[in-house]
Structures are given as C-alpha cells and as structure tokens.
Amino acid sequence: MREVISIHLGQGGIQAGNACWELYCLEHGIQPDGQMPSDKTIGGGDDAFNTFFSETGAGKHVPRAVLVDLEPSVCDEVRTGTYRQLYHPEQIISGKEDAANNYARGHYTIGKEIVDLVLDRIRKLADNCTGLQGFLVFNAVGGGTGSGLGALLLERLSVDYGRKSKLGFTIYPSPQVSTAVVEPYNSVLSTHSLLEHTDVA
C-alpha cells in the first residue's frame, strides 16, 4: 500500500488541514466519527482511502496526520469540533505558549522543546505504514509556529526520512490581509528551509 502522512503546523496549517480532512471524509463516505457505513455494501473493493486513513480493528478510519501548534486554542477547536472523534488524541499536539509571531521562538526555543515529541508521533504513524511515500506539510509562514517550527521539522524529517518526498502546502502572507508586522521576516527565514528541504512547495 502507498501511504502519505499529513503534517499540519500552526493555526494556518491546522485550519487548512481541517478543511482537507472534511473533504477527504466526504469523498470516501467516512463519517465524522471515522465509521464508513458504505463499506459493507462495497465489500471493501475500493481501498484508495488507505493512502490517507488507517483502519483500526473496530473498523474506524483514522487520518494519517499530526496536528501541531505551540498554543492550545486552535487544537482545542479541533478537539471540540465536528470531527473531534476522527483523530486519535495523540495526533493532536499542543504546547502551552505560542511563538508570538516570532520565527526564532518557533525554531530555536519553544519549537525545539516540542519537536522530538512531534517526530515520535510521526514515527509511530510511519511504522504503521507498509509503503510510506512521503509527507504533506501544511503551514503558514507568516506566523511563528508555521515558519519556525515548520523549518525545524522539515530539517529533522530530511535527516530521519531522507529519501521520502516532502510536499509543502505553504500559505504566504499578503500585505492586504496582515495580522503581524513581522510576517515578511518570518516567511523569508522559513523559505530558506523550504527551498532546501521540500521537493515541491
């Protein structure tokens, strides 16, 4: 089987990821609790969803994804939202204080404390795959977590999974809709790692 692991970083990455997983579920007839009622009628003929979902012994379909943010509010929205039963609780990782729109905090201080835990969860997902193809990385590089932790994680993934493809779905800031004055700095610093460590971005 050819599997892909999705990594959603920071507020932008998680919110974009939420929309994606909602569409994946609709596409494959998977309910918000991970059950697939149509499975019985098809007789398991179409297993294309196994690229993105793993199936538990109880017949529940769980996304091959990790959601990471350095502060809990966006992760809590997922934990209490419509698709709260879809994800395994260990796949949603949140810290206690955010990167405050600061690349350095996301890359060198706060992000550094959480990156080993994130890599451990990714390793568990990878061990559950028979033919891992690569990673889809969703992040916004205007903030501190998406840019700083995103760059750090990509560097570490290159070390641990050198041959695997990494596709970046990167949201860049715009002067029309700006939430922080330092967004251009964060995105420039992060783009250095993106160019180095992603195959397609």
C-alpha span between 125 and 179 (Å, rounded): 34
Distance of CA 59 to the CA centre of its chain: 23
Rounded to two decimals, the pTM is 0.93
Q: Pick from 92, 95, 94: which is nearest to 121 by CA?
A: 92
Average pLDDT, the chain: 92
Residue 8 burial class via C-beta count within 10 angstroms: exposed 0-12, middle 13-18, buried 19 and up: buried
| Phi and psi based region of residue 197 (left: phi greater than 0; alpha: psi -120 to 50; beta: remaining) | alpha
The per-residue pLDDT for range 58-85, each reduced to its tens digit, is 889 999 999 999 999 999 999 999 999 9
pLDDT of amino acid 132: 95
| Helices 72-80 + 10-28 axis angle, to 10 | 20
Closest CA to 5 of 84, 92, 122: 122
The string of pLDDT tens digits covering residues 144-167 is 999 999 999 999 999 999 889 999
DSSP letters along 106-132, please?
Answer: IIIIHHHHHHHHHHHHHHHHHHT-SSE
Helices (H), the chain: 10-28, 39-42, 72-80, 103-104, 110-127, 144, 150-160, 183-197
**All domains in the chain, ordered by first residue:** 3-197 (3.40.50.1440)
d(CA 103, CA 141) in angstroms, rounded, equals 9
Pick the closest to residue 152 from 107, 102, 201 (CA basis).
107
Write the DSSP symbol of residue 151.
Answer: H
* Residues 34-58: tens digit of each pLDDT: 998 865 554 455 678 889 999 998 8
- Show Cβ contacts of residue 161 under 8 Å, excluding neighbours closer than 6 positions: 126, 132, 134, 135
Q: How many residues does the chain have?
A: 201
Comparing CA positions, the residue from 140, 151, 88 lying closest to residue 115 is 151
